[in-house]
């Protein structure tokens, strides 16, 4: 399960959802794997405003991954600041939305892609910070089914 998913997950128990402590879920005993995928720069740029950066930093640190910058990258940070690209961007007319030259992902973009889309929890648990309920992750799939008494 990609780490990006954790940005959109919380505890399945209804009464937890109103508590801030239920987001994000905390990985525990996690076995990570890297599943390589093609970097999609427009996708990364578009998804950027949806990221709960502080929470993603917390998750990364709980997983023992390298520290993420304190502030979220901007769209501009994701593009290589290449002279040729810059020149071509300046030459564009206002109505052309797409750059004439293909943008090159920066190291920041590559790092973000690595952590959000390629770093996956293969096995382990996700724990609610409010009720301490543990959800298992097996073979890369997190299971949120609740035992009968919690439904």
115 contacts: CB under 8 Å, gap ≥ 6? 3, 56, 60, 65, 68
Q: Please, what's the b/e burial string for 58-67 (b: 16 or more CB within 10 A of its CB; e: otherwise)?
A: bbbeebeeee
The two beta strands, 119-127 and 134-138, are antiparallel
104 near another protein (CB under 8 A) = no
User: Is residue 12 a contact residue for another protein (CB under 8 A)?
Assistant: yes
Q: Is 5 in the site for another protein (CB under 8 A)?
A: yes
Is there binding between residue 107 and another protein (CB under 8 A)? no
Backbone angles phi, psi at 122, to 5 degrees: -90, -50
Give the Cα separation of 58 and 114 in Å (integer): 16
Is residue 142 near another protein by the rule CB under 8 A? yes
Per-residue binder mask for another protein (CB under 8 A), 112-131, x = binder: -----x--------------
1 lies in the site for another protein, by CB under 8 A: yes
Which of 34, 43, 84, 87 is in the footprint of another protein by CB under 8 A?
43
Q: Is 19 in the site for another protein (CB under 8 A)?
A: no
Q: Looking at 15, 31, 37, 74, which residue binds another protein (CB under 8 A)? A: 37
Whose Cβ is closer to another protein: residue 54's or residue 84's?
A: 54
Helix (H) or strand (E) holding 90: helix 83-90
Task: Identify which of residues 83 and 151 has a Cβ nearer to another protein in the complex.
Answer: 151
Q: For residue 134, give the 3-state DSSP assignment.
A: strand
């Amino acid at each position: 399960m990609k780490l990006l998913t954790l940005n959109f997950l919380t505890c399945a128990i209804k009464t937890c959802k109103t508590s801030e402590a239920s987001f994000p879920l905390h990985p525990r005993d996690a076995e990570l794997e890297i599943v390589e995928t093609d970097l999609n720069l427009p996708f990364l740029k578009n998804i950027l405003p949806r990221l709960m950066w502080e929470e993603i930093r917390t998750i990364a640190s709980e997983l023992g991954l390298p520290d993420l910058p304190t502030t979220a990258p901007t769209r501009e940070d994701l593009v290589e600041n290449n002279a040729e690209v810059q020149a071509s961007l300046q030459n564009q007319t206002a109505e052309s939305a797409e750059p004439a030259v293909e943008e090159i992902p920066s190291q920041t973009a590559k790092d973000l892609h690595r952590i959000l889309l390629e770093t996956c929890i293969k096995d382990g648990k996700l724990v609610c910070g409010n009720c301490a309920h543990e959800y298992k992750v097996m073979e890369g799939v997190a299971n949120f089914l609740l035992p009968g008494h919690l439904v």
